[in-house]
Each structure stands twice: as C-alpha cells, then as structure tokens.
Amino acid sequence: MNPGLPLYARSRALPQTLAALAATTGFAVWAAGALDAYLDPGRRVPVVALAPLLAAAVIGASLRSDSDELDRTAVRPWWPRRLAHLLALTALASAVLPVAVAGHAETFGAPAMIRNILGCVGIVALAAVVLGARLSWLPAFGYVSAAYLASSGARGRAATVWAWPVQPGAQPGAWAAALAAFALGTALYAVRGARPGG
Amino acid sequence: MSVRVTGLCVRHRRTVALDSVDLELGAGVHGLLGPNGAGKTSLIRVLATVGRPSAGRVELLGRNSDSPRERSGIRGRLGYLPQEFGFYPAFTVREFVAYVAWLKEVPADRVPAAVERALRRVGLADRADAKMRTLSGGMIRRVGIAQAVVNDPSLLLLDEPTAGLDPEQRVEFRELLRELGTSATVVVSTHLVEDVAAACTEVTLLDEGRIAYRGTPAALTRLGETSDGPGDHPIERGYTAALRAHRARGVTDARETV
C-alpha cells in the first residue's frame, strides 16, 4: 500500500470518523430498542430521522483539510479521492446503521434509514462546499429538525417530497428528494471540495 | 525560461491584484518585493497553479498552466511555500513532509530519503519525530520550507519564507537559497530587502499590480546610492526610489491621458 494513503486517512481524521460512526450505530441500536416499536413502527421515526443526521455530521467533519493551499498543488486531480472518500463513508454508514431498524421495510425500516443517510450526506456535502466542513452539519440539522417538527400536520404529495426525512421507506417522492440531494451534494463536493478555512 | 507570463491579470471581486504583468524568469533566485497589497502573493499563487488568472497566459517549465494535463506535469516539479500553510498538529515533522511528498507523487520507495534530505537542508533532522504541535513558529516555517523542497523542484515558490526565523536561521536559509538557485528557478516574495540583497540574483518590484522595477540587487543598491530617499541601507533607498519613480511615471501617464 502507498504510505501516503494512511497519512491521508489520518489527515482527514478517518480513524476518529470510523469510531464516531460505530458509536452512532450503537446509540441507534440502543434507541431503537428502547422505543418498543415492534407493534408500531411509526415510533421509529426519531431514530430513522436523527441517526442518519448524526452519521452525516460525522462524515461532514471528515471532509475538512487543514492544508488546503498545499493540497491544491497535488499532482493528481482531487475529485476521484474526494468522491471515493464520500462514497466509502456513505456506503459504510448505509451498511451498519440499518442494523438498528431491522424489519418493517415498507414503513420505517432499513430502506428509510438508507434513504435518509443519502439525503443527509448530500446536504452535508453541499454545505461543506458552501460553508466549509466545520459547519457542514448545520443546514442538515436545521432541515431535518424543521421537517420533523412541521411534518406531523402536513398532508399531500408535496409533503412526501419536502418532508422526506420522516416518510416511510416505500415513498417514491421522498426517495427522489433524498437521491437528488445526494447526487447534487456529492457531485459538487467532488468537483469543488470543502470551502477552505471552514 | 522556467516562467513566462504574458498579460497576466488577476482580479479579486472588484480589486485588481495584477494588471497586465509580463514576466520571464530563468534559473536563479528572484526576489519579489513590494508594499502590502502590491500583488506579490497573487503572483506567487498563480505561479503555484493555485490562483486562477482572469486574463493572460502563464507558461511554467515549458508547459501551459491553463491545461489540466500540463498542470499535473508542472505540479510534480513545483515546490510551494504559502504565506500561511496549514498543517496537521498530530503529524510528526517527518509525516507532514512525507504527506506532501505523496501529494507530489514522489515514488514511495524514495520518500524516506527525500524527507530526510529535505529536513537536513533546513536543519530539522533532529526534530523529525517531533509532533508538529510542539514546534515553535520558526521551526514550523522551516518545516514549510522542507515540504517545498522535498520533491527537488525545478520551480520553487516561497511566500515570506523568512517570517519567524531568527537571524542565524535567516543566514542559513539564504545559503540554502543560493544553493537551490544554482539548479532551479526560485521565486522569493519578501518584505526584507536585506534578504534580497544577500541571496537573490534578480529582483522584481511590484506596485499596485504592476511591475515597477526589474534588475539586479546590485543595480537597485546603486540606485539607492544616488538617491536621497528614506532608508538605512542603500538597497532600501533604492527600493523606495524605484517605487517613487514608478508612481511618478504613473501620475505623468495619467495626466497625459487626460
């Protein structure tokens, strides 16, 4: 293995990121168990909405580079590394977090969890480009909180799109919104990188 | 020529940082002088392929820096010390310089020797295993110089390299500059006119985004010897005389235009 890769991993705090993702998964498993949601999967909504948010915030923190000015003089283009970094962490979160919400795939099970991870990571990546990695969690936190609080009385097709973090797993509008956020955020982050100094 | 710049303009929003700059630099040590806001850092960043020109052509090491493919070739042979380079506090000095060697695609089997050599050149071989967070400001600056030379660059760009160095370290650094300048093109942006006098083979003076003066340090010193401008040393007086002459020409040109 190229000795530069471990240095890259440490420069982006990847060991700490993996530990934080493991802790988030443990917390989600504990929280989902404590909700006693076997008969009413709707009780899982807080876990399905908030655990992906926490995981995305952790991933967002790893997008920071302290040596941005020097990194820009790298011989290889950065976009493949940035893309691989973001996709690998998203895939890892998508593989481990759904363990907390096994079953009930049509409502608030693994598909809803994965969809929310994709959506939250997309917003966080977009925010890293605009605001910088340090504050990248903030817009996703605001959006998911607002959707969670405002969605209880919302009805209609539009609500299935804008309130995607709290929609059942089989809701196509919610998937479309989350996938669009993921595609946009990932593409922009890969091309532009996180805003320097943020 | 390692650097060939034609009609270079750089704008930051409404501010013009560089205005139609033409410049050619070959092997040797080139001092870049000028007041704050003259455009020194903007020029260094464009030469480092980090800053983007608003207009003009920049050819570095015989390649067009506007082309992504040629830019990669340039970057492998380029060393760059920014005015403020970020670093990773938990890295050791050796690890940080090795990280930059990785960015520069130095072959993996050559990295340990390249890092050792770079650290020896800046007198930090004995601190190779110290954490970056434990270093003084001057030592961090020397690590910055080490990372800039780790790939044995053909074009070395140093923005305020002597900031934070003590007098003895500055003297040693000038020696290193002279050594590097025998085989590479070294561009040093600085406020310290005495560093230019001691280590540079050529000097370029920038003012308000334009080239105000080009010549040798000896010629700038001679200019100072015949002028009565402010300064404690002839080259300082030459610096202020050249700046004032440039500004006076600008005023005359403006009057003629009106």
Helix (H, G, I), strand (E, B) or coil at A182: helix
Contact criterion met (CB < 8 Å) for B76 and A70: no
Residue B187 and residue B52: Cα distance in Å, rounded? 18
A198 touches chain B (CB under 8 A): no
Task: Choose, out of B99, B145, B155, the residue to mutate when testing the contact with A (most A CBs < 10 Å).
Answer: B99
The length of chain B, given as a count of residues: 258
In whole numbers, what is the pLDDT of chain A averaged over residues? 93
Asked if the model's pLDDT at residue A139 lies above 90, the reply is yes
Q: Which residues of A touch B111 (CB under 8 A)?
A: 3-4
Q: Min CA distance, B224 vs chain A (Å)? A: 37
Query: Is the Cβ pair A4, B91 closer than 8 Å?
Result: no
pTM of the shown model: 0.91
Task: Give CA–CA dist B238/B216, Å, rounded.
Answer: 11
**pLDDT per residue as tens digits for the range B7-61:** 999 998 889 999 999 999 999 999 999 999 999 999 999 999 999 999 999 999 9
What residue ranges do the domains of chain A occupy?
Answer: 4-192
Who among A2, A68, A77 is closest to B102 (CB)? A2
Q: Does the pLDDT at position B257 exceed 80?
A: no
Supply the CATH classification number for the domain B3-77+153-256. 3.40.50.300
In this complex, the residue of B68, B90, B111 whose CB is nearest that of residue A3 is: B111
Q: Assess A191–B contact: CB distance below 8 Å, yes or no.
A: no
Q: What is the pLDDT of residue B194?
A: 86
pLDDT at residue number A190: 98
Q: Does A1 touch chain B (CB under 8 A)?
A: no
CB spacing of B50 vs A72 below 8 angstroms: yes
> Cα distance from A62 to chain B (closest Cα, Å)?
13
